[in-house]
Structure 1
Amino acid sequence: MIATLEYVEILDQSEQLGKMIMESEVMDDYKNRQVALYEDTEAQELIRAFTDMKQHYDDIQRFGRYHPDYNEIMKKVRSTKREMDMNEKVAMFKVAERNLQNLLDEISSYVALSVSEQIKAPKDGAALTDSGCGHGGACGCSH
């Protein structure tokens, strides 16, 4: 019975922490930037153009540099991404996203370290990077 009461108390405290995060200035900024991004037609066109170009990129990845359009598509992908990233709404959203991720990483680290120093927690925006294996390349993969 004690374990059950402890479990309920932990869940209650976790729920409180979740509410605090949802009501934080960082989350508020993230939500506002997200709305601004989705309402900006220019930003949406740039995102759509990048997504389309990324599909072409994914198609040629099967053949790699041996695909006849490889160099052209690679240049177009980079330039389309640069255009998208240079848009003010996209840039501001990415900053807000990074700030929110940093807050979540900090909380995760605090909780993990309060239990044991051996528990691993995400840090430095690891959740925003696509490492493939989940170890960030520490296992020796090319991630």
Structure 2
Amino acid sequence: MDNPTVNNLAITAVVLIWLLSRQLTERPLREKSPVGLVLVIIGAVETGIYVASHPLSWRDGALVVASLVVGVLLAAVRAFTVRLSVRGGRVVRQGTVLTAALWVLGLGQHFLIDTAVAAELGAVTVLFYFGVVLLAQQLVLVRRAAAVEPSGR
């Protein structure tokens, strides 16, 4: 039996594990990363398909937007838990345990909307959520890196 909620939760778990592994591994900070944008596009398409067959109330839409706003704020805070340093003339980044905890907290608050809105909305919008907050975190990291990097950007 094909259960969309179970499928979305499985995809969410895979994406979260992949994101956390990348966040906690030291690697060069790239000014532009396509991952966030790809997740936003896939998530927007998925959300659009869902909304086309399950119209949302104003309240549902407002709660999803509120979750995104909280997620972006947590992403900005999370960006300051990432260590930046210069190695071989490049800025490298590595998340901390607090970085991982803030990812889980952010995802948890996003799934709380499922308790107050149309069924499955949190699961359906999760890839869009991941993309938006990843782009927000990246923006803050790049701005922080400009102060760390000896030559500036």
Q: TM-score, with normalisation over the residues of structure 2?
A: 0.29
Which has more strand, going by share of residues? 2
Q: RCO greater where, 1 or 2, for CA within 8 Å and sep 6 or more?
A: 2
Greater helix content: 1
Higher Rg? 1
